[in-house]
Chains A and B, each alone.
Chain A
């Protein structure tokens, strides 16, 4: 398996966010190259690359781009930097360490798709990252890389702006993001029509994740086939996997798409904290169904994780050691989904609050075995019955935790208390203090 770094090779270098160092490292040469190509040829390379969306759904990027209606203008690009799925913390490092890589990716995408206005929708909590990105965009504009001409060479007007959100997980969902960008509350839209057809201000709009777009310069430089070869099957390239929870070395690791989950946890992330035994892993952000310890010897490739009954999603891997109370974890996740449901559809609005309530009661020891069954029924009645995927995202953890750790839920009901007492989150803080060091990434 190759150790090529597509996204993180410049992270940690001095002044890596500055235009001068980016250029010194060969930055904006992909854009230069693309300006000598037909825009359609750039799209062709992205199709060949087997790049799949890194925002969660893993949809083929090149294919998405072809959904734009041929003759409608203007078209827009919105880059999704909402990064709010619990366990996900990768896009921020691209922005912090290599914002020009994203700017170049945006410029390439806009050139390929004849788009002249792009927004990066960044979550409100990323104040520092918004400043860094705004500075990079301003630098690129001042240097004549974007603006009225691309790279000062080609008459092609391109404006890129940062739009900051204000705290709402649902605004990472693409149609809620568009509503928010239009200055409204983040209510997801009914689909179809999809944003590529009717998007921002009613115009065709491509929405891609930060990491997705940041791959485009490498694809243009090295060719789509070379990118595809970094991965396997229908998934090309590398991915940024974020590992958090009970591991010795939490951090972001860039690995081939089909890297082994077990290896990532036991080798790269240094194994389970304090040498304790592994209990469970959520492999792709909080919405992904949980895997029990014996199920983690799998490839992280999208379809492989799906075959294992979960989702590779946003690449956020959350690790739980043997001391964790799975009821407590699920109760906290359900609180999150209840908090973040936009309230537009009844099954999601009501169901997420019921699940939160039942789980609080189970954790506190006030529930019966019948409540555990009821919890499962509520989850089943949300799944598939909502406007957007948040409903499913709330149901999947519940369904999978019950499937794999039901005896723990029943034990709470029988004992009328949490068997873990005050230590349901594991005995972590002390050990963590000893290992707290600089953020680790991708080495």
Chain B
């Protein structure tokens, strides 16, 4: 692991510079001697800029926050919203927990798997969509709910899902 600005293990320099700029903003929220607290936000920034929280991204975050890479790896693998492997261009995450399934989410998710031709967790052949089921999204009163690229969609109907997926490039 090299530690000169913008030269981390094959990650594009300009993106590393961008990572550092965004991270500097986030670090303002924590006491200067508690930089390690920014691990989740750092990995999220890395994931957005570099596609996923790869080992190189984990190493970058660890380096900038002064922690060990194994700490970064632990965090990257613990949280479901941190992706340690590449995903499709869009991430569609359907809640199938109880309140949503009582409102039809289970059927909706089955229908989506069939239409996209993927199993849960799979990515369409064209790399457009990764589909998975997730746990309760805190939208039980407006069930069924799903996240598309981390934005919430609620009160889903088959028609609404069609429209939302149709807009994904």
Q: What is A's interface to B at a CB cutoff of 8 Å?
A: 83-89, 92, 117, 123-128, 161-169, 180-186, 201, 242-246, 250-252, 286, 316, 318, 320, 324, 329, 332-333, 336, 339-340, 425-426, 428-429, 432-433, 436, 439-440
- Alpha-carbon separation in the docked complex, A399 to B97 (Å): 19
Q: Which B residues are in CB contact (< 8 Å) with A428?
A: 102-104
Q: Which B residues are in CB contact (< 8 Å) with A246?
A: 102
Contact between chains at B97 and A336 (CB < 8 Å): yes
- Alpha-carbon separation in the docked complex, A205 to B36 (Å): 18
Contact between chains at B44 and A166 (CB < 8 Å): yes
Known: A184-B39, A201-B34, A426-B102. A84 touches B136 (CB 8 A): yes
State the total of A-B contacts with C-beta under 8 angstroms: 164
Apart from the given pairs A86-B98, A333-B97, 15 other A-B contacts in the complex at a CB distance below 8 Å: A86-B136, A125-B150, A161-B30, A165-B79, A167-B79, A167-B81, A168-B78, A168-B79, A184-B71, A246-B102, A339-B135, A425-B104, A425-B106, A429-B103, A440-B141
The segment from B3-11, B14-22, B122-130, B151-159 found at the interface with A is B151-159
Q: Report the minimal beta-carbon distance from B146 to chain A, rounded to whole angstroms.
A: 10
Residues of B in contact (CB 8 Å), total: 49
Contact between chains at B81 and A183 (CB < 8 Å): no
Question: Which one, B29, B97, B151, contacts A86 given CB within 8 A?
Answer: B97
Contact between chains at B155 and A436 (CB < 8 Å): yes
Q: List 22 A-B contacts (CB under 8 A).
A: A86-B99, A87-B99, A88-B138, A124-B40, A124-B81, A126-B152, A162-B29, A164-B40, A165-B40, A167-B82, A201-B34, A243-B141, A244-B141, A244-B143, A245-B103, A250-B99, A250-B142, A250-B143, A251-B141, A286-B136, A332-B101, A429-B107
CB under 8 Å from chain A, chain B span 1-54? 29-31, 34, 36-41, 43-44
Q: Which A residues are in CB contact (< 8 Å) with B43?
A: 166
Question: Which one, A124, A163, A242, contacts B141 given CB within 8 A?
Answer: A242
Contact between chains at A183 and B138 (CB < 8 Å): no
Q: Which B residues are in CB contact (< 8 Å) with A167?
A: 79-82, 134
Q: Which of B96, B102, B104, B155 has the most CB of A within 10 A?
A: B102
Contact between chains at A183 and B65 (CB < 8 Å): yes
Known: A128-B151, A164-B41, A318-B140. A244 touches B75 (CB 8 A): no
Q: Report the minimal beta-carbon distance from A148 to chain B, rounded to whole angstroms.
A: 15
- Alpha-carbon separation in the docked complex, A19 to B52 (Å): 37
Q: Which B residues are in CB contact (< 8 Å) with A183?
A: 36-40, 65, 67, 71, 75
Known: A166-B40, A183-B40, A332-B98. A123 touches B138 (CB 8 A): yes
Contact between chains at A168 and B99 (CB < 8 Å): no
Q: Report the minimal beta-carbon distance from A340 to chain B, rounded to whole angstroms.
A: 7
Known: A183-B38, A243-B141, A244-B140. A286 touches B98 (CB 8 A): yes
- Alpha-carbon separation in the docked complex, A433 to B142 (Å): 12
Q: Which of B80, B99, B151 has the most CB of A within 10 A?
A: B99
Q: Which A residues are in CB contact (< 8 Å) with B71?
A: 183-184
Q: What 3 A-B pairs are tightest by C-beta distance, nearest first?
A: A429-B104, A183-B39, A166-B79
Q: Which of B38, B39, B101, B103 has the most CB of A within 10 A?
A: B103
Q: Which residue of B lies closest to A333 (CB)?
A: B98
Q: Which B residues are in CB contact (< 8 Å) with A244?
A: 99, 102, 140-141, 143
Q: Which residue of A lies closest to B71 (CB)?
A: A184
Q: Which of A318, A425, A440 has the most CB of B within 10 A?
A: A425
Q: Which B residues are in CB contact (< 8 Å) with A201?
A: 31, 34
Is B147 in the interface zone, CB < 8 Å from A?
yes
Contact between chains at B135 and A184 (CB < 8 Å): no
Is B74 in the interface zone, CB < 8 Å from A?
yes
Contact between chains at A439 and B142 (CB < 8 Å): yes
Is B116 in the interface zone, CB < 8 Å from A?
no
Contact between chains at A184 and B75 (CB < 8 Å): yes
Is B139 in the interface zone, CB < 8 Å from A?
yes
Contact between chains at B39 and A86 (CB < 8 Å): no
- Alpha-carbon separation in the docked complex, A127 to B39 (Å): 18
Q: Which residue of A lies closest to B158 (CB)?
A: A429
Q: Which residue of A lies closest to B108 (CB)?
A: A429
Question: Which one, B67, B135, B143, B150, contacts A169 given CB within 8 A?
Answer: B135
Q: Which A residues are in CB contact (< 8 Å) with B97?
A: 86, 286, 332-333, 336
Q: Report the minimal beta-carbon distance from B48 to chain A, rounded to whole angstroms.
A: 12
Q: Which A residues are in CB contact (< 8 Å) with B65?
A: 183
Contact between chains at B98 and A125 (CB < 8 Å): no
Is B56 in the interface zone, CB < 8 Å from A?
no
Known: A166-B40, A439-B142. A84 touches B79 (CB 8 A): no
Q: Which of B67, B71, B152 has the most CB of A within 10 A?
A: B152
Question: Which one, A127, A162, A329, A336, contacts B136 given CB within 8 A?
Answer: A336
Q: Which A residues are in CB contact (< 8 Å) with B80?
A: 166-168
Q: Report the minimal beta-carbon distance from B135 to chain A, rounded to whole angstroms.
A: 6
Q: Which A residues are in CB contact (< 8 Å) with B99?
A: 86-87, 244-245, 250, 318
Known: A166-B40, A168-B80, A425-B102. A92 touches B138 (CB 8 A): yes
